[in-house]
Structure 1
Amino acid sequence: MKFERIPLDYPCGPAPEPGASREIAPGVHWLRMPLPLSLDHINLWAVEDGDGWALFDTGMHTPASLDAWRALLGPGGALGGRRPTRLFVTHMHPDHVGLAGWLTREYGCELRMTFGEYMNCRVLAADSGREAPPEGIRFYRRAGWDDAAIAHYRARFGGFGKFIWPLPESYRRLRDGERIRIGGHDWRVVVGSGHSPEHASFHCPDLRLLVAGDQVLPRISPNVSVFPTEPEADPLGQWLESLAKVRREVPDDVLVLPAHNEPFQPLHARLAHLERGHQRALERLQELLAEGPKRAIDLFGALFARRIDQDLLALATGECLANLNYLVQRGRVAASEDAQGVAWYRLA
């Protein structure tokens, strides 16, 4: 998404290297794992929990992440050879949940996730090896994809589980508003949606910390997309409502511990900036539609500063449709299909 940056404070300095840790609050350690993506890292958090560690998120199932975890948790490692006691996963995306199965099996720790994230992860991982369904092909044809793009989708379908170690067959559910005692402090679960079905963030009032996952990031906006499984969904509306909820429930002066980039402050200024950025994107979409009917793929320029290649096409399409669905469901835009099943959007 096209967003101007705003000045934020980054009080924790540069990130630790994979396999290392840095204490950023009493008993709270910052970890970082590599990702084989253009977004090349994820932040994880370890909180002292009795004689072990409560962990937040895991990294992808890759050899580099496995090596980093073994270095961290092994004898002489940065986490002192102490075992994980509990594993809290913010949401189902592979960079967050990818090694949950390995950590719970290897160390016998308890997995905590929301129901929506656990079950959706199980369902999507089960697509591995399947052919692309006709519903998915119709969905992307409707957005304006050509034959080459559809062929690329067919070739890549079923890859969600590639970077996920199989989840354990049981877990313990996280619930919105639940209070959890970790390391002598209460942490409160704050559930939102839009980026994923039932994303959990964790607020510790005593330490003035928010483990934010992907709900609030300092320099990028999390992907908010519509997918073939629910073509009429309104994830952007849900995500904006979730930002408002975070503002109501979490004080401005927390140190935000995001999944990507660096820990930052203040929270509320960043929330307002994200909201303004999305409202401006909606305005740019409507300005383009004022020129005449357009397909979803014709509207990328209103949302993205970079060129959208085949590898980014599904994400860009999903995000564009999230904006269009938001406008359609609020009566600002209308859609109609042509004889080929392609949707054309116009101002209502």
Structure 2
Amino acid sequence: MPPTPDGSVDYPLCTTPDPGGWQEVAPGVLWIRLSLPFQLDHINVWALDGGALGWTLVDCGLGDPRSRAVWEVLLHDALGGRPVERVVVTHFHPDHIGAAAWLVERTGAGFAASLTEWLVARTLSAGNDAATDAVVEQFYRRCGLEEDTLQSLLARKGAYSRGVPAVPATLTRLRAGDRLPVGDRHWTVIGGSGHTAEPVSLYRPAGGGSPDLLISGDQILPRISPNISVWPSEPDADPLADYLASLEGWSVLPADTLVLPSHGRPFHGLHRRAEELALHHGERLAEIETLCAAPRTAAAVTRALFPRPLDPQQMLFAVGEAVAHLNHLIRKGRLERTVGPAGEPASLPPADLYRRPAAIAAA
């Protein structure tokens, strides 16, 4: 069958694994699909055959009993009962690192990640203290969220540690440019930022009957834009600038690289997809700048960008993404942020307002 077109990408593989299933996408590279209990209902995990040393697993799903039960079957069937040499995680999100500690303990594997992603996971898995809870509440109040929406977000306290009950205590640190040996081949670690602070991707050049391969994590996906958010711990951050710079970095890889993403299907069209994602964010920035011709709260911008009903998890990501774009426009001098009128009751912190600077508005 010919590739299936989908906007800027095409799909060379004709089948997709069922939940808990797997298939080979290149010699010695297995595509495993695990279910997730979210609107984004799956994650792709990649098993790399390292010969006598065993398998390298890239990402691992949630750390819940259901995922562990699926892994018990996969270890026996997909991996043939052979050893697992290491578990690599692309970043700290629960669907990527959740089962890592259990897998390391279960198999005796090593663990590898970037230092930043490991430290963030260790911190979040331990839970929040009262001071952190207060910072989180203040951040979302300053976004101007309605009280019922705010409370639904605050009620998610502890959600991370439920998906990531433990994080491996030691790691092999991965840095951009490192070469990760798997069998008689090497995968090069590619850095980036934006979706999280220091995610890693893995690239292997063509050879041995295999095409150029890129395990991209969430940094580049075929159908959806990775979430780029500002979080309460770093309220003035500009992760969008980091992400746009990361997109430019894909241009050094061959255009026909087969991309193995964390969500969706393996695809060709890396350069086209990177350009499309950059264009998407440019359009979002222009839309927000127009919205802020009159003063707006971050919550109002969020509702305009995402008018459909959102559950608490989706609202969390939507608000974070809106603030990321607002902060980027502030850094570029296209918007300014001011403190708005006091909230009700007066003891609550006031919501921030975003607007065009007078000089731009008058132009």
Q: 2:228 maps to which residue? A: 224
1:115 has 2:115 as partner: yes
Which structure 1 residue ranges, 4+ long, deviate > 6 Å from structure 2?
129-132
| Contact 2:9/2:270 (8 A) holds in 1 | no
TM-score computed with the length of structure 1 as normaliser? 0.94
TM-score computed with the length of structure 2 as normaliser? 0.90
Q: 1:337 maps to which residue? A: 339
For 1:331 and 1:103, the matched residues in 2 are separated by: 47
Question: Which aligned pairs between 1:140-159 and structure 2 lie closer than 5 A?
Answer: 140-159=140-159
Of 193, 197, 217, 1:213 maps to: 217
1:283 has 2:305 as partner: no
1:161 has 2:161 as partner: yes
Deviation per CA, 1:121-162: give whole Å up to 9, x if none: 011111168686221111111110122223223322122110
Deviation per CA, 1:222-260: give whole Å up to 9, x if none: 111001100000011111111112223x22111000000
| Contact 1:299/1:320 (8 A) holds in 2 | yes
Deviation per CA, 1:179-233: give whole Å up to 9, x if none: 1221221211011111111000000013400000000000001111001100000
Q: 1:96 maps to which residue? A: 96
| Contact 1:16/1:31 (8 A) holds in 2 | yes
| Contact 1:132/1:153 (8 A) holds in 2 | no
Query: SS where residue 140 of structure 1 aligns?
Result: helix
For 2:12 and 2:42, the matched residues in 1 are separated by: 19
Alignment gaps of 5+ in structure 2: 1-5, 343-349, 358-363
Query: SS where residue 39 of structure 2 aligns?
Result: coil
Query: SS where residue 32 of structure 2 aligns?
Result: strand
Question: Which aligned pairs between 1:169-188 and structure 2 lie closer than 5 A?
Answer: 169-188=169-188
The structure-2 alpha-carbon separation of the partners of 1:116 and 1:188, relative to structure 1 and needing over 3 Å to count, comes to same
Paired-residue identity, %: 41
Q: Aligned partner of 2:23: which letter?
A: R
Aligned-CA RMSD value: 1.6
Compute the displacement of 1:64 (Å).
2.5
| Contact 1:18/1:68 (8 A) holds in 2 | no
For 1:40 and 1:338, the matched residues in 2 are separated by: 39
Compute the displacement of 1:96 (Å).
0.2
Q: 2:322 maps to which residue? A: 320
For 2:83 and 2:307, the matched residues in 1 are separated by: 44
Q: Aligned partner of 1:58: which letter?
A: C
Q: 2:3 maps to which residue? A: none
Q: 1:33 maps to which residue? A: 34
For 1:309 and 1:131, the matched residues in 2 are separated by: 26
Query: SS where residue 106 of structure 1 aligns?
Result: helix
Alignment gaps of 5+ in structure 1: none
